[in-house]
Amino acid sequence: MAQFQLGDVPHGFAYNADGSLIHYKHVILLAAPAANQSGVWGDSWLSFGSDWADVKLRVAVHDGSAWVWVKHIDVVAANGRIAQQLPASAQKISIGREKKSASDFVDNAPVGCLLELL
């Protein structure tokens, strides 16, 4: 049976345009059961959508031993949602706003996230 978790990405920049951490208080951490476990869960997806402004996110996935991938995702307000399939071993997902440039000041445009466990 499919499970869904909705959330909002916190306001405030967590990362500079070069990817360096500003402050972790602006990061959301989602815990998820590992996907693709035979008989338990199928594929898992993480989706994002924004309104009023385009937003850049830094998304990292931990497999229980290490951070296995980090992606920088542009969420465009005029487009539909962006979906990313999670790796089979995903257990933790870290999401934070990243400045698009040094002069980016829009740190509070609404951004929603959807975690789907199928």
Per-domain boundaries in the chain = 20-101+109-113
Calculate Rg over the CA atoms of the chain.
14
Q: Which two tokens stand for residue 70?
A: 């980090």
Fold designation for 20-101+109-113: Hypothetical Protein Tm1070; Chain: A (2.60.290)
pTM, two decimal places = 0.89
pLDDT in tens, the chain (118 residues): 567 778 899 999 999 999 999 999 999 998 876 655 555 556 788 999 999 999 999 999 998 899 988 999 999 999 999 999 888 888 899 999 999 999 999 999 999 999 887 7
**pLDDT at residue 42, as a whole number:** 65
Neighbours of 115 (CB within 10 A): 19
